[in-house]
Chains A and B, each alone.
Chain A
């Protein structure tokens, strides 16, 4: 059973992607008494390097990198695997985490020589926890390992929500935890049923054997619903707005940009790799319908929020909705395989560009709130003078959310629209466009207020560090640059799709 081949070096990198942040968080726990960021930043930088090398190698070799833990073959053992999509996503996550970490030095830097304090220690360890969790979610090929990874994610995310310790954030964190746990347990039941039906939890093995029978349907139904709860898709979004709005800005940024994407990624995996083919049209339509409802309802709600961070949080729910439009689009697509279709590419691009844009937006919102001393949208007058770079970043990120050129969100939107038209899903096309208009509404509302004259009697804005502003701008810049990727479906995202390489 012990395979003859030796570990390929690229595979070892996958292990590093999981282990580096874990080791980092353990190290902070024991060593980081006074300066946790001194451990966290190098670890996140190394993590970024590892992720980029993996991404480049996958692109270079044109096939997925695989690693079998302990040398055990599935179904007995667990496999890590980086196909094009996974590689792109771990690189995305690593980059965002790194930039957020640079920004967060301003929030959670500890004083030199001082004794350990709560917020920095907790923040930096949990940030590394998130990194471990996300890398595992994107790389693991085993449904139960993915369950553990989801729990890692929840356990890292929830305390970040209530880092500040106020009543409201505690309440929000509790809600988040309970609902996420409800989602987890449904997922777990699904895993149990799948094991009972097929005797394996390896995604690649399941891909070959799943049948359209009762056990499989029920298992997938439970798993998808559970994951939706964690992705905060409407109408399961009860926890997200207070949680993401209550967390400190760097935490909100990673929560909104990355954490809600992980469950979506797993739904994608379940749908394309585990669900018996062809997937029923009605189920795909249901996913898209919930996505559409998310877009429309939560965009309107974002438009009506009085607070900037709540607005951004509702916008996250709306933007996550776009991702769910992918399912019927890919099914009715022109391409023989889903990952060659424009809908698939558009969905992934939407995921990535939203991640960068939303991270930038939350960080910008944090700086704006820091400078102005509040985040009431109506009283933001003068913000454009006080923190011009943050406002610019907010606007650029907003461009991506609105789907205006040349942002990445625009290309994604065009692809999704094209796929919707090709598959004659006009209602989806209409939703995409309407969502863009509503997004424009809430983004412009903020920008417009920011350029207004400051209200009389408002305290003068505080200065914020230029380096933090530039970090925010760089994320928005990436969201913008994504718009210059070539328009065709990227071959990269199809690497390693469809069973084994």
Chain B
């Protein structure tokens, strides 16, 4: 029981304790003002307790926390964003009804999501993952609009589906080890030699891909992220999707060198990246465009992981985490920023929109921003082939999408012509934005293994810039013909699934009819005899 271990444990215990304290109505009503403090221990742990660990309960449960580099990196970013967004929420939601409920869901989601970065055994991971994904339902459906309700329902259905995939995958993984609750790395180490490798990998990608938003399982994201209150959107889009990322990092046998599977994942990731851009540029809601951008970026992360797995390259997880951290902070800042822009008059906006521009283009790899760093660091994994080209091209797509976003942002109507942004929401945004610019610089060298100077070479700069330019050109074209593009509804293919709804209803009705028939006395009693006869024959 070391100090670092205790610090890590407190990272989980504090938010959970706070949510438990909300059982008392008095605490609950005041909780919103304090939720910013919940992730502080985790942040401290990320900074000071790297490499530490603690076993929370003895055999056979072995609930274990541990903080490796990958975990610490994401944990730190996530804790920072949670804290900032919490601070933001206190101002943003002030005076609204149901803030107590919001705080409870917030704290639970927070605890779960931070937990996913810290746990080392399978059961705890599943627990943390479930808590994060199920509690997020409360954030998605916080607003009581019909749109929020639909988004919440879709979110819940798919989240549960994802849980089911993951559970089965975990069960398969756990079979490889003789103990009840293995550590993740023990189970993953045994996976490549398992006869059930194929189903396990498919289930893992399905389950975690659903959380990350890999196409076509991304449908819940463009519905769910926009309807949540702004700080919650930031957390959802910035952090919760990373639960899927960390899942893939932890559970895929990245260093086993499985070219077929890795290639498949690359293909899936890149497809997602482009697909989300294509749909995203037809959207007219700022937050929806951001959600599609998240889908696209997560596609890239998946592709990074896939490329690493194909090559069996060590350090893949760290590179992917670096990319994810960049996205986490930037996307968080963007969502928080949208809230500021929406709530302030045009004359107060200029600076913010400018900063948002930098942030947005960072996602496309604007030189000297975190995006450029992340892309540069991950590039070698793709080698020189088609995948590499496509990965680079994805930056073009991102540029296009982000320019579309900036345009929508600029045109956002203001609620109040004189409103100035409050300090309570401006400050956290500024912190996150700043962190997104600074933090990757600090981490770049240890993660990527390159010197920072490499980034300033002409070749590197050009590689970062030409997609931006190409994207710019395409964007101009897009703005010309923009209105002629078909309006793809939010959540795209879910709408197709919607057409299946009458079929589902009809099946339900048929089952009811069948049930009514079976519940007739003559039928049921005849069945009784049929069953008796069948068992007599079978036994």
Contacts and interface: CB of A to CB of B under 8 A. Distances in A.
Interface of A: 175, 179, 182-183, 186, 212, 216-218, 220-222, 224-226, 228-229, 234-238, 275, 279-280, 282-283, 286, 290, 297, 300-301, 303-304, 402, 404-406, 413-414, 417-418, 421-422, 429, 433-434, 436-437, 440-441, 444, 448, 452-453, 484, 486-488
A276 to B, nearest CB: 8
B508 A421 contact: no
Interface string B503-539: 0000010011011001111011101110111111111
B304 to A, nearest CB: 30
Contact of B525 (A179, A221, A441): A179
A236 B533 CA distance: 15
A275 B521 CA distance: 30
Nearest to A422: B175
Nearest to B180: A487
A437 B168 contact: no
Contacts of B156: 440, 444
A364 to B, nearest CB: 18
Nearest to B126: A405
Interface string B53-85: 000000011000000000000000000000000
Interface stretch (B5-13, B158-166, B423-431): B158-166
Contacts of B163: 404
Given A225-B532, A236-B527, A404-B134, A301 B512 contact: yes
A487 B180 CA distance: 6
Contacts, number: 137
B174 interface: yes
B35 interface: no
Interface of B: 60-61, 123, 126-127, 130, 134, 144, 149, 152-153, 156-157, 160-161, 163-164, 167-168, 170-172, 174-175, 180-181, 196, 508, 511-512, 514-515, 518-521, 523-525, 527-529, 531-539
A238 B518 contact: yes
Contacts of B175: 418, 421-422
A296 to B, nearest CB: 9
Nearest to A384: B101
Contacts of B539: 212, 216-217, 220-221, 275, 279-280, 283
A488 B60 contact: yes
B164 A421 contact: no
Contacts of B520: 238
A26 to B, nearest CB: 35
B511 A297 contact: yes
Question: Chain B contact residues: over half helix, strand or loop, or mixed?
Answer: helix
Contact of A433 (B164, B174, B537): B164
A421 B130 CA distance: 22
Q: Shortest 8 CB-CB distances between A and B: which pairs? A: A221-B536, A225-B532, A221-B535, A487-B180, A238-B519, A283-B538, A433-B164, A217-B539
A175 B521 CA distance: 9
Contacts of B168: 417, 421, 429, 433
B167 A487 contact: no
User: Which of B152, B160, B537 has the most CB atoms of chain A within a 10 A radius of its CB?
Assistant: B160
A405 B160 CA distance: 12
B538 A417 contact: no
Contact of B532 (A221, A413, A421): A221
Given A186-B528, A235-B524, A436 B123 contact: no
A486 B508 contact: no
B60 A486 contact: yes
A238 B524 contact: yes
B524 A225 contact: no
A436 B174 contact: no
Nearest to B505: A304
Contact of A418 (B174, B508, B521, B531): B174
Nearest to A279: B539
Contact of B515 (A301, A429, A441): A301
A229 B130 CA distance: 37
B503 to A, nearest CB: 14
Contacts of B529: 225
Contact of A436 (B164, B514, B525, B536): B164
A448 B156 CA distance: 11
Specify which of B144, B149, B523, B538 lies most central, judged by the most chain A CB atoms within 10 Å of its CB: B538
Contacts of A303: 508
A441 B536 CA distance: 37
Contacts of A282: 538
A30 B305 CA distance: 76
A217 B61 contact: no
A192 to B, nearest CB: 14
B402 to A, nearest CB: 36
Contact of B160 (A237, A290, A436): A436
Nearest to A218: B536
